[in-house]
Amino acid sequence: MAEATDGVRDVTDLYREFGDDRLPPGQRETTAFPVLDKGGTPSMNPETWSFEAWGAVEDPLDRSLESLRDLPSETQRQDFHCVTGWSRFDNEFTGVTFPTLAERVGVTDDAAHVMFHAADGYTTDLPLSACLREEVMFTWELDGEPLPADHGGPLRVVTPHRYAYKGAKWVTGVEFLAESERGYWERRGYSVTANPWEEDRYA
Ligand SMILES: Nc1nc2c(c(=O)[nH]1)N[C@H]1C(S)=C(S)[C@@H](COP(=O)(O)O)O[C@H]1N2
Ligand SMILES: [Mo]
């Protein structure tokens, strides 16, 4: 991880933890940013967006988007890997890291798993250990502009170490679980772990 002089934290080298190549096997690089979701951008009002954190936490959060934005934030340069086979390099996302939020709410010792909830009814799950990484972010800005609604604005999750279906667009809540549960695609046969360098596409 490198802290560049422009204040952007470059995490594009995280692939070294998982494989030899920045482009995971079976992926091809694109400079486009395709839009993918199960049923289109939901109608929503960013002005009244609420974001909650609940479950196995000491201090549940039921707060406005503004309050989340008030937590310490940063900008990271990240890659994005879609399970359908495309990868987009060098996206600059601004937001709050998952560890920062987890510290704020005081995740309890029995928490082992995480479920993300979104405004379109989408859910996705990950082990807590896969979320407690600085590159997992709640983000509202892409390349210096407000995150476009079709890419999940006003708030989405990004998971550059996992396939992008782990990153809930229009995220409204994060639930800390003692027992593992399955999200939308995970119930339909997609991998829970979703490691692109292992080609963990299906369970
Ligand atoms: N809320 C929500 N988030 C979602 C989805 C969805 O259907 N609803 N689809 C996921 C999938 S399968 C992918 S590949 C990425 C795509 O993100 P993009 O549209 O910004 O490329 O969003 C993920 N997050
Ligand atoms: Mo996807």
82 lines ligand 1 (CB under 6 A): yes
Say if residue 4's pLDDT is above 60.
no
In a domain, 191, yes or no: yes
Cα 169 → chain centroid: 8
Q: What is the average pLDDT value for the chain, to the nearest integer?
A: 95
pLDDT tens, position by position, 178-202: 999 999 999 999 999 999 999 999 9
Of 30, 33, 36, which is best to mutate to test ligand 1, by the most ligand atoms within 8 angstroms of its C-beta? 36
44 lines ligand 1 (CB under 6 A): no
- The number of the ligand nearest the C-alpha atom of 38 reads 1
Closest alpha carbon to 17 in 126, 145, 101, 133: 133
Total structural domains within the chain: 1
The Cα–Cα gap between 121 and 108 comes to 26
In a domain, 96, yes or no: yes
In a domain, 28, yes or no: no
- The number of the ligand nearest the C-alpha atom of 118 reads 1
In a domain, 122, yes or no: yes
Say if residue 203's pLDDT is above 90.
no
Rounded-to-5 percentages of helix, strand, coil across the chain: 20, 35, 45
CATH of the domain at 103: 3.90.420.10
In a domain, 34, yes or no: no
Closest alpha carbon to 37 in 130, 114, 119: 119
Can you give the residue range of the structural domain that contains 157?
2-16+70-198
Q: For residue 130, what pLDDT band results from cuts at 50, 70 and 90? A: very high
Nearest CA to ligand 1 atom 24: 168
Residue 107 CA to ligand 1 center (angstroms) comes to: 26
Q: Is 26 left (phi over 0), alpha (psi -120 to 50) or beta?
A: left
pLDDT tens, position by position, 132-170: 999 999 999 999 999 999 999 999 999 999 999 999 999
The CA distances from residue 21 to 86, 91, 165, 171, 193, in Å, are: 15, 18, 21, 30, 19
